[in-house]
Amino acid sequence: MWTTIKDILIGAALSLVAFFAPAAAIILVVLGFVLMDTITAYMRVKKEQRTQINNNEPITIRWRSRTFIKGFAPKIILYTTCILILFALDVVLLNEFISYFIPIPHFTTKVISLGLIYGELKSIDENWKKIFGKGLIKHIMELLHFTKKVKDKMDDVNKDK
């Protein structure tokens, strides 16, 4: 009897994994942005601590593992749960209606995930501004401008040959 129950539970678990498998990539991307936000927040705290030490001020900002876990773990659980619930609603109900207007599968899940990513990007950009003095987008634009200059110089060198 226990083997039958065990087989049923394993079958149910595998069915759930197979059902939610298409959402795995979306979840990993969102969680990657959460991790990047956490890393930039840690870098910001360390920079602010160094600034306070250099100015002979008492350290008011600390990075504690308890604070990290209180902020990081609930965010991961909330985002993952949100995406999985939306994915299930999308598969069962919303995708049928939305596919008449927009032929993108799981459109609602993707739009909500983009909203979550946007929120994390805003937070990453704020942390980046505090660390380096200017935003991440400005750094990316300067990098693109630099690579365009290098490409133009390479084109000039190739024309001369």
Collapse the DSSP code of 55 into the 3-class scheme (helix H, G, I; strand E, B; otherwise coil) and give the result.
coil
Look at residue 27 in the predicted model and tell me its pLDDT. Answer: 94
Tell whether 129 is covered by a domain.
yes
Look at residue 161 in the predicted model and tell me its pLDDT. Answer: 65
Residue 96 has pLDDT above 70, yes or no: yes
Tell whether 155 is covered by a domain.
no
pTM score > 0.75 for this model? yes
| C-alpha closest to that of 113 among 29, 39, 37 | 29
Tell whether 61 is covered by a domain.
yes
Decide: residue 109, CB within 10 A, 0-12 exposed, 13-18 middle, 19+ buried: buried
The domain in which residue 103 lies consists of: 2-134
Look at residue 59 in the predicted model and tell me its pLDDT. Answer: 66
Look at residue 16 in the predicted model and tell me its pLDDT. Answer: 84
Tell whether 144 is covered by a domain.
no
The residue assigned the tokens 């604070």 is: 67
* Torsion angle of the four alpha carbons 140, 144, 150, 154, in this order, in degrees rounded to the nearest 10: 150
Tell whether 159 is covered by a domain.
no
Q: Give the number of domains in the chain.
A: 1
Tell whether 139 is covered by a domain.
no
Tell whether 63 is covered by a domain.
yes
Tell whether 85 is covered by a domain.
yes
Rounded Cα gap, residues 137 and 34, in angstroms: 18
Q: Are 128 and 136 in contact (CB under 8 A)?
A: yes
